[in-house]
Structure 1
Amino acid sequence: MSHDGTNTSGWGLRYPGLVMGKGGKNEVKEFTGMWALKPDADLVAFTDTLSREVPVWGGPGKTFSEATTMLGLIRTARWFVARTQDFDGYTLFFISQFDGTLDKYFDDFVLNGKENLTKIWGQCVGCPSGPDATARDVVEFIARGQIKTLACYDVFPSLSLGQIYKAADWYEKTQKFQRAVSKGDLNLEDAVNAFFGELAESYKQVPSDAMIDTEVGRQWQYEDVAEHIGK
């Protein structure tokens, strides 16, 4: 895990984020950001965007998790709300880990489109809006909310998502082949040829999932944490 203090970002990022698996076949990057929520932020609309509406990049009929799986880059992402000393009221936090560069990650953010981006970050103070605002303007606003991460963890930083999918695919095909051979009722040469043929076929992406609290707008965030930890 390391970081580099230089800034070559086209998005004005002040910090390149933590890098895991440096020197291996793959590197995992992370981004953490925070933005002040508007006093009248509609978190029901926020969760509706993630749970029911189709992301632009996924095409027709794709859910948020299905479309995100298609990108093949995002390993994990989460949004949550908390109080901080930086802003009055509540703050929106966003944390993500992904393959590829931080710049490329924000380039891909533009693919969400202005409408989808503003359904999330439009709930925040200062987010560009109006007919003249563009998706790039909104993404630049998102990038400006960056904060440093103290520590993060990834179980397979040296493996890309594509490599993980392929390993899972090969394991399943090998297990199927072993079980077929153990029965002893087939031609071994034909079985081996069929097995190698299956290995050569493109692997299918492992299904991803998204867990969304659709009640968050009705059941507000905890305000008694200090009390519970004895402060």
Structure 2
Amino acid sequence: MTNTSGQAYAFMATTPILPGRRAALQDYLDGLPRGEDSPLARMRTIHFARWLVLRDLVHQGPSQRRDTLQSSYLVFVSNFDGPLDRFLADLLARMGPEADAIWRNCVGYPGTEHADAFIAYLKHNQIETTAFLSAYPQATVADVREALDLRRQVTDFAISVQGADPAALRRAFLERFPAPPRSPAPSTPSPTTPESA
């Protein structure tokens, strides 16, 4: 399936905006907080997500037939960990008020009162992904955050030990990054003989 790359899933939904609602929707989207304060940050499985308002198609010159949209569209794109249904249920659970404030400006939006209708609405408006490439297809958001944290720790350590001699560097490294405990090797059972079997 082209919507997946490893364990990651790419989702895009386009929903026509109701007449006269585009400006209010754009104002609401522009006013959403960014970064860690974004409502999308509540969802710990999102690698990337955004909404955008598509007003019309870009005409690229005379060799292209001019084509116009009959309405503006809200486009929502996201890539995230795991299956689509779980993601949409999580979106509803963690961002219900924001979902209503956004998609109520779109044609046919059923609201968040009934989870099945909300999920069916977004799936109905889904556009299949034709090319989805993930830099780390098996890495979850938690994996990426853990790797970034480790990189920060190693960078801080490297700065703190500038100029240390090799012995001091080794001691400091083992103190800062102790080796994980080793699992005991599995015991090998002694071979049985016909008399002891």
Whether the TM-score (by the shorter chain) exceeds 0.5 is yes
Deviation at 1:182, TM superposition (A): 3.5
CA–CA distance in structure 1, aligned partners of residues 134 and 27 of structure 2 = 26
Deviation at 1:99, TM superposition (A): 0.8
CA RMSD of aligned residues (A): 3.2
Deviation at 1:104, TM superposition (A): 0.8
Instruction: Name which of 59, 63, 66 aligns with 2:37.
Output: 63
Give the structure with higher Rg (CA). 2
Unpaired segments of 5 or more residues in structure 2? 58-66, 181-197
Which residues of 2 match residues 1-231 of structure 1 at below 5 A? 3=1, 18-21=3-6, 27-48=7-28, 51-52=31-32, 63-64=37-38, 67-80=39-52, 81-83=54-56, 88-112=70-94, 114-128=96-110, 134=113, 136=115, 137-184=117-164, 191-196=172-177
TM-score by length of 1: 0.59
CA–CA distance in structure 2, aligned partners of residues 86 and 144 of structure 1 = 23
Query: Which amino acid in the other structure matches residue 142 of structure 1?
Result: L
**Contact kept? 1:33, 1:143, Cα under 8 Å:** yes
SS at match of 2:132: coil
SS at match of 1:183: coil
Deviation at 1:86, TM superposition (A): 10
SS at match of 1:174: helix
Query: In structure 2, do the counterparts of structure 1 residues 47 and 153 end up closer, same or farther at CA, with 3 Å as the change threshold?
Result: farther
CA–CA distance in structure 1, aligned partners of residues 159 and 95 of structure 2 = 48
Deviation at 1:127, TM superposition (A): 1.0
1:181-217 deviation line (CA, Å, top 9, x unaligned): 34328955762454026x99xxxxxxxxxxxxxxxxx
Unpaired segments of 5 or more residues in structure 1? 4-16, 22-26, 55-61, 201-231
Q: Which has the higher contact order (CA 8 A, sep 6+)?
A: 2
The number of aligned residues is: 167
CA–CA distance in structure 2, aligned partners of residues 98 and 128 of structure 1 = 24
Deviation at 1:46, TM superposition (A): 4.5
Deviation at 1:68, TM superposition (A): 3.0
Deviation at 1:73, TM superposition (A): 0.8
Query: Which amino acid in the other structure matches residue 140 of structure 1?
Result: A
CA–CA distance in structure 2, aligned partners of residues 88 and 134 of structure 1 = 29
